[in-house]
Chains A and B, each alone.
Chain A
Protein backbone atom coordinates (compact mmCIF):
# COMPACT_ATOMS: atom_id res chain seq x y z
CA UNK A 1 0.00 0.00 0.00
CA UNK A 2 1.07 3.56 -0.62
CA UNK A 3 -0.04 7.15 -0.29
CA UNK A 4 -1.89 9.44 -2.67
CA UNK A 5 -1.33 13.13 -2.02
CA UNK A 6 -3.99 15.47 -3.34
CA UNK A 7 -3.45 19.09 -4.31
CA UNK A 8 -3.00 21.17 -1.15
CA UNK A 9 -4.95 24.28 -0.36
CA UNK A 10 -2.72 27.24 0.57
CA UNK A 11 -3.29 30.35 2.66
CA UNK A 12 -0.73 33.16 2.69
CA UNK A 13 -0.77 35.96 5.26
CA UNK A 14 -3.24 38.72 4.34
CA UNK A 15 -0.63 41.50 4.05
CA UNK A 16 1.76 41.25 1.10
CA UNK A 17 4.92 43.16 1.91
CA UNK A 18 7.64 44.05 -0.58
CA UNK A 19 10.96 42.84 0.81
CA UNK A 20 12.71 45.87 -0.67
CA UNK A 21 10.34 48.13 1.28
CA UNK A 22 11.52 46.50 4.53
CA UNK A 23 15.05 47.65 3.83
CA UNK A 24 16.40 49.31 0.70
CA UNK A 25 19.85 49.06 2.27
CA UNK A 26 19.82 45.28 1.82
CA UNK A 27 18.45 45.29 -1.76
CA UNK A 28 21.37 43.28 -3.17
CA UNK A 29 21.25 40.78 -0.29
CA UNK A 30 17.50 40.30 -0.74
CA UNK A 31 17.89 39.46 -4.43
CA UNK A 32 20.90 37.17 -4.10
CA UNK A 33 20.34 35.63 -0.69
CA UNK A 34 16.61 35.60 -0.02
CA UNK A 35 15.31 35.49 -3.58
CA UNK A 36 11.78 36.58 -2.84
CA UNK A 37 10.40 40.01 -3.69
CA UNK A 38 7.54 39.60 -1.24
CA UNK A 39 6.74 38.14 2.14
CA UNK A 40 3.26 37.65 3.56
CA UNK A 41 2.34 38.80 7.05
CA UNK A 42 -0.89 37.83 8.77
CA UNK A 43 -2.39 40.79 10.62
CA UNK A 44 -5.82 39.42 11.54
CA UNK A 45 -5.91 35.69 12.16
CA UNK A 46 -4.00 33.72 14.76
CA UNK A 47 -2.41 30.36 13.89
CA UNK A 48 -5.55 28.40 14.67
CA UNK A 49 -7.57 30.88 12.59
CA UNK A 50 -5.25 30.44 9.61
CA UNK A 51 -5.34 26.65 9.97
CA UNK A 52 -9.14 26.57 10.27
CA UNK A 53 -9.60 28.85 7.26
CA UNK A 54 -7.39 26.83 4.92
CA UNK A 55 -8.68 23.44 6.07
CA UNK A 56 -12.32 24.52 5.77
CA UNK A 57 -11.62 25.65 2.23
CA UNK A 58 -10.18 22.25 1.35
CA UNK A 59 -12.96 20.28 3.05
CA UNK A 60 -15.60 22.36 1.28
CA UNK A 61 -13.95 21.72 -2.07
CA UNK A 62 -13.19 18.02 -1.60
CA UNK A 63 -16.12 17.13 0.68
CA UNK A 64 -14.37 14.38 2.61
CA UNK A 65 -14.21 13.18 6.18
CA UNK A 66 -10.68 12.24 7.35
CA UNK A 67 -9.84 9.32 9.64
CA UNK A 68 -6.95 11.27 11.12
CA UNK A 69 -5.77 14.87 11.44
CA UNK A 70 -2.13 15.85 11.86
CA UNK A 71 -1.66 19.48 12.76
CA UNK A 72 1.92 20.60 12.06
CA UNK A 73 2.73 23.72 14.04
CA UNK A 74 5.22 25.00 16.58
CA UNK A 75 3.93 28.45 17.30
CA UNK A 76 0.58 27.49 18.73
CA UNK A 77 -1.38 30.18 20.49
CA UNK A 78 -1.35 28.34 23.84
CA UNK A 79 1.41 26.32 25.53
CA UNK A 80 -1.22 23.64 26.05
CA UNK A 81 -3.59 22.18 25.11
CA UNK A 82 -2.43 21.36 21.62
CA UNK A 83 -4.49 23.19 19.01
CA UNK A 84 -5.20 20.05 16.96
CA UNK A 85 -8.35 19.18 18.90
CA UNK A 86 -9.70 22.72 18.64
CA UNK A 87 -8.93 22.68 14.93
CA UNK A 88 -10.82 19.37 14.55
CA UNK A 89 -13.73 20.93 16.45
CA UNK A 90 -13.70 24.01 14.22
CA UNK A 91 -13.81 21.71 11.20
CA UNK A 92 -16.62 19.66 12.71
CA UNK A 93 -14.70 16.43 12.16
CA UNK A 94 -15.93 13.07 13.37
CA UNK A 95 -15.34 12.77 17.15
CA UNK A 96 -13.66 9.37 16.95
CA UNK A 97 -10.82 10.21 14.59
CA UNK A 98 -7.12 10.29 15.53
CA UNK A 99 -6.07 13.90 16.14
CA UNK A 100 -2.67 15.18 17.20
CA UNK A 101 -0.17 18.02 16.84
CA UNK A 102 3.27 17.51 15.38
CA UNK A 103 5.54 20.20 16.79
CA UNK A 104 7.92 20.73 13.92
CA UNK A 105 9.02 23.45 11.52
CA UNK A 106 10.30 23.17 7.98
CA UNK A 107 10.71 19.35 8.19
CA UNK A 108 7.17 18.99 9.50
CA UNK A 109 5.24 18.33 6.33
CA UNK A 110 7.54 15.51 5.21
CA UNK A 111 7.55 14.07 8.74
CA UNK A 112 3.74 14.15 8.64
CA UNK A 113 3.78 12.35 5.28
CA UNK A 114 6.00 9.61 6.74
CA UNK A 115 3.59 9.21 9.67
CA UNK A 116 0.59 9.30 7.34
CA UNK A 117 2.05 6.54 5.19
CA UNK A 118 2.41 4.35 8.28
CA UNK A 119 -1.13 5.14 9.45
CA UNK A 120 -2.57 4.45 6.00
CA UNK A 121 -1.04 0.98 6.13
CA UNK A 122 -3.22 0.21 9.18
CA UNK A 123 -6.96 0.83 9.57
CA UNK A 124 -6.95 4.44 8.35
CA UNK A 125 -7.94 5.23 4.78
CA UNK A 126 -7.74 9.01 4.53
CA UNK A 127 -6.03 11.76 6.43
CA UNK A 128 -5.68 15.49 6.63
CA UNK A 129 -2.37 17.29 7.20
CA UNK A 130 -2.71 20.93 8.20
CA UNK A 131 0.41 23.09 8.56
CA UNK A 132 0.28 26.61 9.98
CA UNK A 133 2.92 29.00 11.19
CA UNK A 134 3.02 32.68 12.01
CA UNK A 135 6.63 33.66 12.67
CA UNK A 136 5.81 37.36 12.31
CA UNK A 137 4.46 37.34 15.86
CA UNK A 138 7.93 36.51 17.15
CA UNK A 139 9.86 39.01 15.07
CA UNK A 140 11.24 42.23 16.36
CA UNK A 141 10.59 45.24 14.11
CA UNK A 142 14.33 45.86 14.16
CA UNK A 143 15.21 42.33 13.06
CA UNK A 144 15.20 43.21 9.38
CA UNK A 145 17.11 40.13 8.24
CA UNK A 146 14.46 37.82 9.66
CA UNK A 147 11.53 39.94 8.56
CA UNK A 148 12.40 39.67 4.88
CA UNK A 149 12.95 35.93 5.08
CA UNK A 150 9.81 34.35 6.56
CA UNK A 151 6.18 34.43 5.47
CA UNK A 152 3.11 33.55 7.53
CA UNK A 153 1.26 30.70 5.86
CA UNK A 154 -1.00 27.71 6.29
CA UNK A 155 -1.78 24.69 4.15
CA UNK A 156 -4.18 21.76 4.13
CA UNK A 157 -3.39 18.53 2.31
CA UNK A 158 -5.52 15.46 1.88
CA UNK A 159 -3.76 12.08 1.87
CA UNK A 160 -5.39 8.81 0.85
CA UNK A 161 -4.50 5.15 1.07
CA UNK A 162 -3.45 3.74 -2.28
CA UNK A 163 -3.21 0.10 -3.27
CA UNK A 164 -0.04 0.92 -5.16
CA UNK A 165 3.18 0.93 -3.10
CA UNK A 166 4.76 4.22 -4.10
CA UNK A 167 7.18 5.22 -1.33
CA UNK A 168 10.58 4.59 -2.89
CA UNK A 169 12.72 5.84 -0.03
CA UNK A 170 12.81 7.76 3.22
CA UNK A 171 15.67 9.55 4.96
CA UNK A 172 15.60 11.66 8.09
CA UNK A 173 17.70 12.84 11.02
CA UNK A 174 18.50 15.51 13.53
CA UNK A 175 21.23 17.54 15.19
CA UNK A 176 20.22 18.37 18.75
CA UNK A 177 23.59 19.94 19.65
CA UNK A 178 22.82 22.99 17.55
CA UNK A 179 19.09 23.19 18.21
CA UNK A 180 19.46 26.75 19.51
CA UNK A 181 20.46 27.94 16.02
CA UNK A 182 16.82 28.70 15.27
CA UNK A 183 14.54 29.21 18.24
CA UNK A 184 11.95 31.17 20.11
CA UNK A 185 13.11 31.01 23.70
CA UNK A 186 10.08 31.76 25.78
CA UNK A 187 12.07 31.64 29.02
CA UNK A 188 13.63 34.99 28.20
CA UNK A 189 10.21 36.59 28.45
CA UNK A 190 10.91 38.44 25.22
CA UNK A 191 9.38 35.75 23.04
CA UNK A 192 11.48 36.70 20.03
CA UNK A 193 12.81 34.54 17.27
CA UNK A 194 16.57 34.23 17.04
CA UNK A 195 18.43 32.59 14.21
CA UNK A 196 22.09 31.89 13.55
CA UNK A 197 21.68 31.99 9.77
CA UNK A 198 25.20 30.76 9.05
CA UNK A 199 24.74 27.67 11.24
CA UNK A 200 21.40 26.83 9.69
CA UNK A 201 22.99 27.32 6.27
CA UNK A 202 25.83 24.91 7.11
CA UNK A 203 23.33 22.40 8.48
CA UNK A 204 21.27 22.57 5.26
CA UNK A 205 24.18 22.30 2.85
CA UNK A 206 25.81 19.47 4.80
CA UNK A 207 22.74 17.27 5.30
CA UNK A 208 20.40 17.74 2.34
CA UNK A 209 22.82 16.89 -0.51
CA UNK A 210 23.69 13.68 1.39
CA UNK A 211 20.01 12.91 1.90
CA UNK A 212 19.30 13.53 -1.79
CA UNK A 213 22.21 11.30 -2.81
CA UNK A 214 20.96 8.48 -0.57
CA UNK A 215 17.51 8.55 -2.14
CA UNK A 216 18.59 9.22 -5.71
CA UNK A 217 21.12 6.43 -6.11
CA UNK A 218 20.11 5.58 -9.66
CA UNK A 219 19.49 9.16 -10.77
CA UNK A 220 15.81 8.46 -11.09
CA UNK A 221 14.26 11.64 -9.68
CA UNK A 222 12.10 13.67 -12.07
CA UNK A 223 11.21 16.57 -9.76
CA UNK A 224 12.64 17.98 -6.57
CA UNK A 225 10.53 19.78 -3.99
CA UNK A 226 13.20 21.06 -1.63
CA UNK A 227 12.21 23.37 1.22
CA UNK A 228 12.61 26.93 -0.04
CA UNK A 229 14.55 28.24 2.95
CA UNK A 230 16.28 30.96 0.94
CA UNK A 231 17.65 31.34 -2.59
CA UNK A 232 21.29 31.01 -1.57
CA UNK A 233 20.54 27.86 0.44
CA UNK A 234 18.57 26.27 -2.41
CA UNK A 235 21.16 27.25 -5.03
CA UNK A 236 24.01 25.82 -2.94
CA UNK A 237 22.12 22.56 -2.33
CA UNK A 238 21.37 22.24 -6.07
CA UNK A 239 25.00 22.88 -6.99
CA UNK A 240 26.40 20.53 -4.38
CA UNK A 241 23.90 17.78 -5.23
CA UNK A 242 24.70 18.18 -8.95
CA UNK A 243 21.04 18.16 -9.88
CA UNK A 244 19.52 19.89 -12.87
CA UNK A 245 18.04 23.26 -12.05
CA UNK A 246 15.00 22.63 -14.25
CA UNK A 247 13.97 19.70 -12.07
CA UNK A 248 13.73 21.90 -8.97
CA UNK A 249 10.55 23.84 -8.24
CA UNK A 250 10.80 27.12 -6.37
CA UNK A 251 8.25 29.57 -5.03
CA UNK A 252 10.40 32.67 -4.68
CA UNK A 253 8.29 34.51 -7.26
CA UNK A 254 5.32 34.20 -4.90
CA UNK A 255 6.58 34.59 -1.35
CA UNK A 256 9.34 33.95 1.19
CA UNK A 257 10.05 30.97 3.43
CA UNK A 258 6.67 29.57 4.49
CA UNK A 259 8.15 27.08 6.99
CA UNK A 260 6.04 23.87 7.16
CA UNK A 261 3.81 25.01 4.28
CA UNK A 262 6.80 25.42 1.97
CA UNK A 263 6.53 21.98 0.33
CA UNK A 264 2.69 22.04 0.16
CA UNK A 265 3.06 25.36 -1.68
CA UNK A 266 5.51 23.77 -4.15
CA UNK A 267 3.08 20.86 -4.67
CA UNK A 268 0.21 23.30 -5.22
CA UNK A 269 2.24 25.18 -7.84
CA UNK A 270 3.27 22.11 -9.81
CA UNK A 271 0.62 19.48 -9.05
CA UNK A 272 -0.21 18.42 -12.62
CA UNK A 273 3.47 18.15 -13.55
CA UNK A 274 4.06 15.72 -10.67
CA UNK A 275 1.57 13.03 -11.65
CA UNK A 276 3.32 9.82 -12.69
CA UNK A 277 6.73 11.29 -11.79
CA UNK A 278 9.30 10.30 -9.22
CA UNK A 279 9.32 13.21 -6.80
CA UNK A 280 11.81 13.86 -4.02
CA UNK A 281 10.59 16.09 -1.19
CA UNK A 282 13.02 17.35 1.41
CA UNK A 283 12.31 19.56 4.41
CA UNK A 284 14.87 20.82 6.91
CA UNK A 285 15.41 23.45 9.56
CA UNK A 286 14.15 23.90 13.11
CA UNK A 287 15.35 21.15 15.44
CA UNK A 288 17.75 21.03 13.77
CA UNK A 289 16.13 18.31 11.70
CA UNK A 290 15.57 17.05 8.20
CA UNK A 291 13.19 14.65 6.50
CA UNK A 292 13.20 13.51 2.88
CA UNK A 293 10.93 11.20 0.95
CA UNK A 294 11.07 9.83 -2.57
CA UNK A 295 7.67 9.01 -3.96
CA UNK A 296 6.17 7.87 -7.23
CA UNK A 297 3.36 10.38 -7.59
CA UNK A 298 -0.03 8.81 -8.21
Chain B
Protein backbone atom coordinates (compact mmCIF):
# COMPACT_ATOMS: atom_id res chain seq x y z
CA UNK B 1 0.00 0.00 0.00
CA UNK B 2 1.24 3.47 -0.82
CA UNK B 3 -0.17 6.99 -0.73
CA UNK B 4 -1.54 6.82 -4.26
CA UNK B 5 -3.40 3.55 -3.63
CA UNK B 6 -4.83 4.69 -0.28
CA UNK B 7 -6.04 7.96 -1.80
CA UNK B 8 -7.59 5.99 -4.65
CA UNK B 9 -9.47 3.69 -2.22
CA UNK B 10 -10.78 6.61 -0.17
CA UNK B 11 -11.80 8.45 -3.35
CA UNK B 12 -13.78 5.40 -4.46
CA UNK B 13 -15.88 5.40 -1.31
CA UNK B 14 -16.33 9.17 -1.03
CA UNK B 15 -17.11 9.47 -4.73
CA UNK B 16 -14.73 12.41 -5.17
CA UNK B 17 -11.03 13.11 -5.37
CA UNK B 18 -9.51 13.38 -1.89
CA UNK B 19 -6.30 14.68 -0.37
CA UNK B 20 -4.15 13.39 2.47
CA UNK B 21 -6.27 15.57 4.79
CA UNK B 22 -9.41 13.52 4.09
CA UNK B 23 -11.58 12.71 7.13
CA UNK B 24 -14.86 10.78 7.29
CA UNK B 25 -16.53 13.70 9.04
CA UNK B 26 -15.95 15.86 5.95
CA UNK B 27 -17.68 13.50 3.55
CA UNK B 28 -21.37 12.64 3.71
CA UNK B 29 -20.77 9.50 1.66
CA UNK B 30 -18.14 8.19 4.10
CA UNK B 31 -20.77 6.67 6.38
CA UNK B 32 -20.68 3.37 8.26
CA UNK B 33 -21.54 1.35 5.14
CA UNK B 34 -18.83 3.09 3.12
CA UNK B 35 -16.37 2.47 5.95
CA UNK B 36 -17.01 -1.28 5.77
CA UNK B 37 -16.44 -1.10 2.00
CA UNK B 38 -13.21 0.78 2.62
CA UNK B 39 -12.06 -1.88 5.11
CA UNK B 40 -12.85 -4.59 2.54
CA UNK B 41 -10.93 -2.73 -0.19
CA UNK B 42 -7.93 -2.20 2.10
CA UNK B 43 -7.97 -5.90 2.87
CA UNK B 44 -8.04 -6.77 -0.81
CA UNK B 45 -5.19 -4.36 -1.55
CA UNK B 46 -3.07 -5.81 1.27
CA UNK B 47 -3.83 -9.41 0.25
CA UNK B 48 -5.87 -10.20 3.34
CA UNK B 49 -3.45 -8.70 5.83
CA UNK B 50 -5.19 -5.51 6.95
CA UNK B 51 -8.41 -7.22 8.12
CA UNK B 52 -6.37 -8.78 10.93
CA UNK B 53 -5.75 -5.27 12.32
CA UNK B 54 -8.94 -4.57 14.24
CA UNK B 55 -7.58 -1.13 15.18
CA UNK B 56 -8.46 -0.04 11.63
CA UNK B 57 -12.15 -0.29 12.53
CA UNK B 58 -12.07 3.15 14.13
CA UNK B 59 -9.61 4.83 11.77
CA UNK B 60 -11.74 7.44 10.02
CA UNK B 61 -9.19 9.59 8.18
CA UNK B 62 -6.39 9.18 5.66
CA UNK B 63 -3.78 10.00 8.30
CA UNK B 64 -5.13 7.58 10.89
CA UNK B 65 -5.29 4.74 8.37
CA UNK B 66 -1.79 5.54 7.11
CA UNK B 67 -0.41 5.58 10.67
CA UNK B 68 -1.87 2.15 11.47
CA UNK B 69 -0.75 0.63 8.18
CA UNK B 70 2.75 2.06 8.71
CA UNK B 71 2.90 0.61 12.23
CA UNK B 72 1.98 -2.78 10.79
CA UNK B 73 4.46 -2.50 7.93
CA UNK B 74 1.76 -2.45 5.27
CA UNK B 75 2.51 1.04 3.96
CA UNK B 76 5.49 2.26 2.00
What is the interface of chain A, defined by CB distance below 8 A to chain B? 28-29, 32-33, 145, 175, 177-178, 181, 196-199, 201-203, 205-206, 209, 232, 236, 239-240
Interface centre among B36, B53, B58 (most CB of A within 10 A): B36
- Name the B residues within 8 Å of A177 (CB-CB): 54
- Name the B residues within 8 Å of A209 (CB-CB): 48
Closest to A28 in B: B33
Instruction: Please tell me which one of the listed residues B33, B36, B44, B51 contacts residue A206 in the complex, with CB atoms under 8 A apart.
Output: B51
What is the size category of the interface that chain B forms with chain A? 10 to 19
Q: Is B45 an interface residue (CB 8 A)?
A: no
Q: Is B57 an interface residue (CB 8 A)?
A: yes
Closest to B43 in A: A205
Asked if B33 and A29 make an inter-chain contact with CB atoms under 8 angstroms apart, the answer reads yes
Knowing that A198-B35, A198-B58 touch, tell me 10 more A-B residue pairs with CB under 8 angstroms: A181-B54, A199-B54, A202-B56, A202-B57, A205-B39, A206-B43, A232-B36, A232-B40, A236-B40, A240-B44
CB interface residues, B 1-53, toward A, < 8 Å: 31-33, 35-37, 39-40, 43-44, 48, 51-53
Instruction: Please tell me which one of the listed residues B39, B52, B58 contacts residue A201 in the complex, with CB atoms under 8 A apart.
Output: B39
Asked if A198 and B57 make an inter-chain contact with CB atoms under 8 angstroms apart, the answer reads yes
Asked if B57 and A232 make an inter-chain contact with CB atoms under 8 angstroms apart, the answer reads no
What is the interface of chain B, defined by CB distance below 8 A to chain A? 31-33, 35-37, 39-40, 43-44, 48, 51-54, 56-58
Chain B binding surface, main DSSP class: helix
| A181→B53 CA distance, assembly (Å) | 14
- Name the A residues within 8 Å of B37 (CB-CB): 232
| A178→B51 CA distance, assembly (Å) | 14
Can you sample 16 A-B contacts with CB below 8 Å? A28-B33, A29-B31, A145-B32, A196-B57, A197-B32, A198-B32, A198-B58, A199-B57, A202-B53, A202-B56, A205-B40, A206-B43, A206-B48, A206-B52, A232-B36, A240-B48
The 3 residue pairs across chains A and B that have the minimum distance between CB atoms: A198-B57, A206-B51, A199-B57
- Name the A residues within 8 Å of B58 (CB-CB): 196, 198-199
- Name the B residues within 8 Å of A202 (CB-CB): 39, 51-54, 56-57
| A177→B51 CA distance, assembly (Å) | 15
Interface centre among A32, A177, A202, A236 (most CB of B within 10 A): A202
Closest to B57 in A: A198
